[in-house]
Structure 1
Amino acid sequence: MSEALLVQEAGAAPLAAPASGARQFWRRLRAQRAATAAAAVVLLLFLAALAAPLLAALAGQDPDTFHPELVDSAAGGVPRGSFGGIGADHWLGVEPQTGRDLFARIVYGARVSLGVAVAATLLQVTIGVVVGLAAALGNRRLDQILSRITDINVALPLMVIALGLLAVVPPSFPRPVLIALVIGGINWAGTSKIVRAQALALKTLDFVSAARLSGRGRWSIARRELLPSLAAPVITYAALLFPVNITVEAALSFLGVGIKPPTPSWGQMLTEADTWYQSAPTYLLLPAGLLFVTVLSLTVLGEGVRTALDPRAASRLSIGTGREGRTKEQAS
């Protein structure tokens, strides 16, 4: 999903949430079955990532222990047994050549992949909100300078710059932190554009004008008046951006400049599985399938959040739900 499309979708969010916005938001979100199911999947993935040490201990395995006896060295290191060595001791099989437990590496890899995406998204949102508010509340010259910087940032090729930066930074720097900094530090322009546009519209409303006439400073107005009203579009954009960041992290690891062994991540596992897709397909299908399910669930959840925060979409949803209920009553 391109950044321009994300900005367009997030821009449909309301300028301000209703007084009982939180309650209405959860009601609208629960009314969407696909979004509810996606939220359950995402919650399960995050719980598995947080409980990775506990789950690995429950399986009696850890992600770094080699088991050479579980692979057939004469066949090039293919796991012994069916379906990549799946059994009572190794619930998802073992890694080719090394024999490391795949279940342990999958859950530990979820910590890295999801953690990088969370950190990158938070950094993008923070930089975008600060730059967008500064452009909207500053004078014309500051607005022009920040707008040009934002336009340049939009034109930057994220993957090319990320590849260059990650290739020259010393290996001693923590790789997950570096990847989060690179993604978040480059790809913040979409949030900035949304915040600036919404803040400029909010500046013309009566409650902001009243706060300005009362003698309050710009940043006091931004903190107390604008930020609460900007929560809906920012949250919408962050929800749509999160699956993109997971895909970027996986792509960087797949290209060999992301997470380095022995630290597991789903993208890094895909890189190693590239040569085993015929002899040990399970090793490729597990991280690829998890990435697909995670990105799909986050995308559906992001769309559900956008719909729940947008009164126009939510009203259409309520009308549709009401018609469905009346149809069921008439049928009964």
Structure 2
Amino acid sequence: MSEALAAVETAGTDISVPAASGAHRFWRRLRTQRAALVAAAVVALLVLAALAAPLLTALEGQDPTTYHPTLIDSARGGVPIGSFGGASADHWLGVEPQTGRDMFARLVYGARVSLGVSLGATLVQVVLGVAMGVAAGLGNRWIDLILSRITDIFISMPLMIMALALLAIVPDSFPRPVLVALIISLVSGWSTTAKMVRAQTLALRNLDYVSASRLSGWSTSRTAVRELLPGLAAPVITYAALLIPQNISAEAALSFLGVGVKPPTPSWGQMLTSADVWYQAAPQYLLLPALALFVTVFAMTVLGDGVRVALDPRAASRLRIGTGRKRESRAEKAAQAPNAAAAKAAQVPDAAVVKKEGRA
């Protein structure tokens, strides 16, 4: 229990101190990973920029939908007038080719769409995957068989083909960001979450405290909520942190194919759709949304890997970024130094004896 006190012996005296909470231990482990902390700061800035998009665009004095035909050169096919895509004090990152819409406003509003869709899809994937996985792990043989086969069917579905088919038949009146989030979450992601949760549930159901709760007459739902979900929290949070960058990439891919978020709602993938025509005349139109996608996905991936290692300290990081590898190398050398010195000291007398015997 979180309220329990742990007896700790220090300096020959018995002192009862509160046991470190799980959140405290997690933060202590996460603080040792500088790359994860930097990634968390980048993600926090992106989320803050997305939430404050109306305030930031009001500060600039622009919005993401207003056309500025006077800022583009119609004689050259709609290329922005001026250097760096028409960047100025009124348009911080320039304007969009052919339309003259403000690039900064479209980028920050596009962050709202990309992050909102990915977070919403991740939430649905986690809730549905945990429910299906726990039900399959605690159910009888037939329930487990039926739910596992349903999960296998969804795992085998190709996301892009199913998304293209579903997005084509849904009326345009349905909110597009919500529709994209639902399709991403229902077609992919939740099935692999359910597989992982089912495996963890089968491992936990045989532990003594879970068996005791079931033998005491608790219902299956009460056992799952009170005993299993706390043990499933760490792997589920870890997998959810790694799902977010995948969902961002999926939303960008659907918008790039022209079946995701529809204009005039800005989206990074949608901006990349028409950028391939302008990458020579206005390269910033391609580089800015591509850089935003790269930084977001990379930061989310590094943060997810850091969360995974912090929740399971026995697992090694897959991403050797920053000074963590150097610190581990120095720690290994420091641990090996006493052994090497002792071995060298043990070999010196033997060498002297051999030399003395050789002279004799």
Match of 2:208 in 1: 206
Find the aligned partners of 1:152 and 1:45 in 2 and give their Cα distance.
36
Say yes or no: does 1:242 pair with 2:272: no
Compared CA separation, residues 278 and 314, structure 1 to 2 (3 A): closer
Compared CA separation, residues 269 and 278, structure 1 to 2 (3 A): same
Find the aligned partners of 1:183 and 1:142 in 2 and give their Cα distance.
26
Find the aligned partners of 1:322 and 1:226 in 2 and give their Cα distance.
38
Counterpart AA for 2:106:
R
Q: Secondary structure of the equivalent of 1:96? A: coil
Find the aligned partners of 1:320 and 1:129 in 2 and give their Cα distance.
37
Counterpart AA for 2:22:
G
Q: Secondary structure of the equivalent of 1:90? A: coil
Say yes or no: does 1:256 pair with 2:258: yes
Match of 1:284 in 2: 286
CA contact (8 A) 1:236 1:306 kept: yes
The alpha-carbon deviation at position 24 of structure 1 amounts to 1.1
Counterpart AA for 1:225:
E
Find the aligned partners of 2:59 and 2:304 in 1 and give their Cα distance.
33
Q: Which runs of 5+ in 1 are unaligned?
A: 1-17
Matches within 5 A, 1:53-202: 53-187=54-188, 188-202=190-204
Compared CA separation, residues 325 and 28, structure 1 to 2 (3 A): farther
Q: Secondary structure of the equivalent of 1:197? A: helix
Counterpart AA for 1:297:
A
Compared CA separation, residues 222 and 19, structure 1 to 2 (3 A): farther
Find the aligned partners of 2:235 and 2:97 in 1 and give their Cα distance.
45
Say yes or no: does 1:30 pair with 2:50: no
TM normalised by structure 1 equals 0.89
Match of 1:4 in 2: none
CA contact (8 A) 1:308 1:314 kept: no
Matches within 5 A, 1:34-49: 34-49=35-50
Match of 1:303 among 296, 302, 305: 305
CA contact (8 A) 1:270 1:284 kept: yes
The alpha-carbon deviation at position 325 of structure 1 amounts to 11
Match of 1:12 in 2: none
Match of 1:14 in 2: none
CA contact (8 A) 1:106 1:266 kept: yes
The alpha-carbon deviation at position 94 of structure 1 amounts to 0.3
Match of 2:227 in 1: 225
CA contact (8 A) 1:128 1:191 kept: yes
Counterpart AA for 1:125:
V
Counterpart AA for 1:276:
W
Compared CA separation, residues 319 and 26, structure 1 to 2 (3 A): farther
Find the aligned partners of 2:249 and 2:54 in 1 and give their Cα distance.
24
Q: Secondary structure of the equivalent of 1:99? A: coil
The superposition leaves residues 192-223 of structure 1 with CA deviations (integer Å, 9 ceiling, x where unpaired) of 01110001110011111111122110000101
Q: Secondary structure of the equivalent of 1:204? A: coil
Find the aligned partners of 1:106 and 1:319 in 2 and give their Cα distance.
37
Counterpart AA for 1:91:
W
Find the aligned partners of 1:231 and 1:77 in 2 and give their Cα distance.
53
The alpha-carbon deviation at position 20 of structure 1 amounts to 2.6
Counterpart AA for 1:185:
L
Find the aligned partners of 2:73 and 2:275 in 1 and give their Cα distance.
17
CA contact (8 A) 1:128 1:189 kept: yes
Q: When the two structures are aligned, how many residues end up with a matched partner?
A: 310
Q: Secondary structure of the equivalent of 1:83? A: helix
Counterpart AA for 2:165:
G
Q: Which region of structure 1 is more displaced relative to structure 2, 26-35 or 241-250?
A: 26-35
RMSD: 2.1
The superposition leaves residues 80-124 of structure 1 with CA deviations (integer Å, 9 ceiling, x where unpaired) of 000101111100000111111110110001000100000001011
Find the aligned partners of 2:208 and 2:20 in 1 and give their Cα distance.
17
Find the aligned partners of 2:102 and 2:325 in 1 and give their Cα distance.
48
Identity of aligned residues (%): 70
The alpha-carbon deviation at position 244 of structure 1 amounts to 0.5
Specify the structure having the higher radius of gyration (Cα).
2
Q: Which runs of 5+ in 2 are unaligned?
A: 1-18, 318-323, 338-360
CA contact (8 A) 1:95 1:101 kept: yes
Find the aligned partners of 2:196 and 2:157 in 1 and give their Cα distance.
18
CA contact (8 A) 1:254 1:268 kept: yes
CA contact (8 A) 1:121 1:245 kept: yes
The alpha-carbon deviation at position 274 of structure 1 amounts to 1.9
- Would you identify which runs of 4 or more consecutive aligned residues in structure 1 move more than 4 Å? 317-327
